[in-house]
Amino acid sequence: MTQELQQVIHAARRRWRLRVLLHGLAWVAAGGLVMFLLAAWGVDRFRFSPTALTVFRVLAWGTIAFLFAWRVVRPLARRISDEQVALYLEEHESELDGAVLGAVATAARPGDASSPRLIERIVARAVERLAQIEGGRRIERPSLQRSGGVLAAVTAISLFAMLLGPGSVRTGLPFVMAPFRDAGSSPYAIDVLPGDSTAARGSDLRIRAQLHNFAAEEVTLSLRPRGATEWERIPMQLDDERGER
Q: In 48-136, which ranges are continuous DSSP H helix? A: 50-68, 74-77, 82-92, 99-108, 116-132
pTM for the model: 0.69
The total number of structural domains in the chain stands at 2
Q: What is the DSSP letter of 96?
A: G
Same domain, 35 and 79: yes
Query: pLDDT tens digits, residue range 79-107?
Result: 888 788 777 777 776 666 667 767 776 66
Query: pLDDT tens digits, residue range 150-180?
Result: 999 999 998 998 888 887 788 888 888 888 8
Same domain, 126 and 202: no
State how far the Cα of 51 lies from the Cα of 53, in Å rounded to an integer: 5
Residue 195 belongs to what domain range?
Answer: 189-235
Q: Is residue 133 part of a domain?
A: yes
Same domain, 95 and 211: no
pLDDT of the residue at 186? 67
Query: Degrees (nearest 5) of the Cα angle 44, 50, 55?
Result: 80
At 177, give phi and psi (nearest 5°): -80, -10
Least confident span in 11-20, 32-41, 44-53, 129-138: 129-138
Same domain, 201 and 229: yes
